Each structure stands twice: as C-alpha cells, then as structure tokens.
Amino acid sequence: MTGAPGFRCAIAPRAPICRALSWGLGVVTIALSLRVVADTARYLSFEPHFGFLLERPLLSADRLWLACFYVHVAGGTICLVSAPLLLWNGLTGRSIRLHRAIGRVHAVAALGWTGPTGLYLAPFAKGGLAGRIGFLVLGVAFCASTVLGVLAIRRRDLRRHVAWMLRSYALILSAVTFRVLHLALHGLGVAPEPAYVVCTWSSLALALAAGEFMIRWFGRAAASSAVAGDMP
C-alpha cells in the first residue's frame, strides 16, 4: 500500500486499566520474544556444539536437514522481530511506507524461509508421532494464515488482512510459549518426551486462542479506523 492520507490504525479508547494491561502484556511478550531470539540466534554462529544439535547427531550430519534448520532459525528470528514492529506501526498508523517495507521482509522470511523449512523439519521433530503431527499442524496453520493475510491486502481487504496477520503473529509466538511451558514442565520433573508433546500441542492451542483474542482486542479498531491506499 502507499501512504494514503486517510489511513490510520488506532487502538480504540479503553479504560485505563485495559490500556495498562495491554501495555503490560505487550512488554512481557516482547521481552520473552527477545529472549528466545537471543537464545536461538546463537545457532547462527554455525557452531555444532549447542544442545539441540548435539541431541541429533545423525540429523546434524545431513546437509539438507542442517541447511533447513539454519534457514528456519534465521527466518524465525526475523519474524519474531518484525511482527511486533508491524503490529505497533499498524495500530498507531505511524508510517504506511515503513509498514509496507517491514511487511515485505516479514512475508519473505515467513513464506520463503520459516514456513517451508518448518514443514520439512516437522517429520523429524521430537515427541514421537504426536510431536511431529503437532509441528506439522503448526507449520500449515502458520503458512496458511500468512498467505491469506498477504492475499487479503492485495485485494485491499484490510479487515481480513488484519485478522489473518494477527493469527499469523500469534502462531509465531508459539515458539515463545513452547519454551516457557517447557521450562515449567522441566522444573516440575516431567519426563522429556511427554513434556515435549504437551508443550507442542499446548503452545499451538494457546496460539490459536491468542489469535482470536487479538482480533477482538485490536482487529476491529484497526480495520474500522483505516482506509486502504493503492496496492504495491
């Protein structure tokens, strides 16, 4: 889109306690996301001495699997960083050009890197069949929601664009909730295999619920207060 003068996505007025809650949840979410980014970005040093790779020596020796793993990590890092920037810029209406530029980077990272490699890696996931299916469902849902969001804005359907991209962002955040749950279950002494399955499906369920919550919280206000400009 170009910067149409009428375009503005703003959070609808809410009670102070609601605004405080929104900011609080946002700060916690971004802080946890940055922690995940910092932890996973270490793999981009391409050193083989990190825990996840050491646990999978046979797969780590497979060049295709390893290449997909690194691309997945890089794409996921970009998505975790770019998604909150898109959400903030979209809600505040700061700059259409900036939103479009970041959105293109995000779409390439999501649909060119993270999504396809995630689908390839899913059959090799830990947690047995249940874990593999969980990651496959997550990958399909993430790709589908992002594609639908991109197609919606190409049709100038801002309401559906906002809704699908909020769902996509919620699915990205499943990487964060997975790690939080995994740490909690590890602290409770739950065995690794069942803990992995529980974390996979729980983070997916929470992501789906969070996406619908964000649509109700942000989506209507954003779409109703925006006017779509020209498509790129």
pLDDT in tens, 54-108: 888 899 999 999 999 999 999 999 999 999 998 887 665 668 888 899 999 999 9
Residue with more model confidence, 164 or 51: 164
Q: Using alpha carbons, select from 154, 147, 27, 145 the residue that is nearest to residue 100.
A: 154
Four-residue CA torsion sign, 199, 83, 6, 12: positive
Strand stretches in 10-155, DSSP E: none
Task: State the pTM of this model.
Answer: 0.85
- Give the model's confidence band at 47: pLDDT under 50 very low, under 70 low, under 90 confident, else very high: confident
Give the chain's mean pLDDT.
Answer: 85
Distances (CA, A) of 228 to 12, 77, 91, 152: 18, 29, 14, 11
Quick one: average pLDDT of 131-147?
A: 98
Contacts by 20-23, CB closer than 8 A, 24 or more apart: 22/217
Residue 13 is predicted with a pLDDT of 45
The Cα–Cα gap between 167 and 214 comes to 8
| Banded pLDDT at 202 (limits 50, 70, 90) | very high
- Nearest to residue 105, comparing CAs of 118, 86, 87? 86
| Residue that is written with structure tokens 């503005």 in the block | 8
Residue 9 is predicted with a pLDDT of 39
Range 154-184 burial, b when 16+ CB lie within 10 A, else e: eeebbbbbbbbbbbbbbbbbbbbbbbebbee
> Is the pLDDT reported for residue 232 higher than 50?
no
Mean pLDDT calculated for residue range 124-145: 96
